[in-house]
Homo-oligomer: A and B are copies of this chain.
Amino acid sequence: MSVRIEPLTPEAFAPFGDIISLRDAPDMVINQGMCGRHHDLGRVDFGTGRAGISLFDAKPRSLPCKVDLVERHPLGSQAFLPLNGVPFLVVVAPDAGGKPGPLRAFLTEGTQGINLLRGTWHGVLAPIGGQGLYAVIDRIGEGNNLHEHWFEVPVLVCA
């Protein structure tokens, strides 16, 4: 089975999360006109935990990319912000009765980040084209915040 990468648009991605990128215009201009603030771009949600800032240093993958596992974090949202400009593959799925439904695939570009909603099924971080460094804003706290689902037959994500 294979899935094709579709364009990463706010509308297509909204059921799964948010694209963290500049709006057409800033919400506020601060610092005596020197800085535009594009305000509160992700639906962050850490429930009973707190926000943490971590770094993920991830080895490169390539396309087509084999996906044999998706996971979800039931207790909090998770955002990925690219620090070295390496695009990453975003594989997500709606929930279908506690299991992932049909996979969908997107690819970020340049400085785009994404924020996954709490509980969104997603593939593991997959930088395309180079070693990727990402700031990750996710939940720190007690409780089991990881569900995994392994596919009997891997899904191939194609450009």
Interface of A toward B, CB cutoff 8 Å: 20-22, 26, 30-32, 34-42, 44, 46, 50-59, 61, 79, 81-85, 111, 113, 115, 124-125, 133, 135-137, 140
Q: How far is the CB of A73 from chain B (nearest CB, A)?
A: 13
Q: Is the CB of B41 within 8 A of A57?
A: no
Tell which of A35, A53, A61 has the most Cβ of chain B within 10 Å.
Answer: A53
Interchain CB contact (< 8 A) of A53 among B50, B56, B137: B137
For the complex of A and B, 7 pairs with smallest distance between CB atoms: A51-B51, A35-B58, A31-B124, A38-B55, A83-B111, A42-B53, A36-B57
When all copies of this chain in the complex are counted, the total is: 2
Residues of B within 8 A of A37 (CB): 54-56, 136
A38 vs B133: C-alpha distance when bound (angstroms): 11
Interchain CB contact (< 8 A) of A125 among B31, B50, B79: B31
Interchain CB contact (< 8 A) of A135 among B35, B36, B81: B81
Residues of B within 8 A of A26 (CB): 57
